[in-house]
Amino acid sequence: MPDVAAPTLRLRRSHERGFADHGWTDMWATFSFASYQDPEWVHFGPLRVIVENHIQPRSGFPAHPHRDVEILTYVAAGTLTHGDSFGNQFGVSSGGMQLISAGAAGMVHSEENLHDVMEHNYQMWLVPDRPGTTFAYYDKTFSPEARQGQFRLYVSPDGREDSMPINTDAFVYAGLFASGDTVSRPLAPGRGAWVQIVNGRARVAGVVLEQGDGVGITDADALDFAFEADTEILLFDVRMDAPMLWK
């Protein structure tokens, strides 16, 4: 039998990420972001930002602008309230994901924890694959029961399976798995997977990942997961050579 090439891994341990403590929030950045810059960690395909935030009660990000970026926020605990220059105000709670297409003309928004408990989220930015996009807002929440034991599709390029449509070639999933669960997912040629552990512990591609750890996987035709603790997980399936409006 011919030798099967091992997958290519980009392992990012939790403690290796960039860290900033702003008092009202702490931020852990997987890739270069704001004052944290590392030329070895800039992007994974069109996935440009992964930042883990813990926002203190009754605080948050004041109004600030964005343009030409697809912003995803997954809420792991608490509720995050979004307000924007188009007059929208929506709250997203645990198990929910928000997608904002900032559009070529841009928008201004705020992100606040209006409650008396800590809010925990992961925010991700993906670069659009074309110019001239328009502003759009979506959010989607699955109950714990709907996420248990499977990867639920939240985001896709074409809105399949009632997912939120994004302006790049990326599929984004979240799931909850029990200790002892195993699952395998295909990975098509030319695509990469970024696995991010929100809580728990899992083995994938021969590597054990714990809370806050992430890994990018390419040159694989399948992803085999074995969960060694109750685990909450994000999975990004992206086209590695997707056109990027900016880098």
Kindly report, residue by residue over 100-128, the tens digit of the pLDDT.
999 999 999 999 999 999 999 999 999 99
What pLDDT is recorded for position 72?
A: 98
Instruction: List Cβ<8 Å contacts ≥24 apart for 1-5.
Output: 5/219
CB-side neighbour CA atoms (13 Å) of 74:
26
Residue 64 in marked binding region: yes
**Average pLDDT, integer, range 14-18:** 98
What pLDDT is recorded for position 194?
A: 99
Structure confidence at residue 246 as a pLDDT band (50, 70, 90): confident
Each residue's pLDDT tens digit, 149-190: 999 999 999 999 999 999 999 999 999 999 999 999 999 999
Structure confidence at residue 1 as a pLDDT band (50, 70, 90): very low
Q: How many CB atoms lie within 10 A of CB 210?
A: 15
Which strands make up the sheet holding 119-126, listed edge to edge? 18-21, 25-29, 47-55, 119-126, 70-77, 96-101, 136-141
Rounded percentage of the chain residues whose pLDDT exceeds 70: 98
**What topology does CATH give the domain 8-239?**
Jelly Rolls (2.60.120)
SS3 label, residue 145: helix
Domain ranges of the chain: 8-239
**Average pLDDT, integer, range 59-68:** 92
Q: Which two tokens stand for residue 183?
A: 């699952």
Q: Who contacts 6 (Cβ-Cβ below 8 Å, separation ≥6)?
A: 219
Query: How much helix, strand and coil, in percent to the nearest 5, is found in the chain?
Result: 5, 55, 40
Residue 66 in marked binding region: yes
Q: Who contacts 79 (Cβ-Cβ below 8 Å, separation ≥6)?
A: 91, 92, 93, 94, 113, 114, 115, 119
Residue 111 in marked binding region: yes
Whether 213 has a pLDDT exceeding 50, the answer reads yes
Q: Hey, what's the torsion of the CAs at 23, 29, 32, 33, to 10 degrees?
A: -40
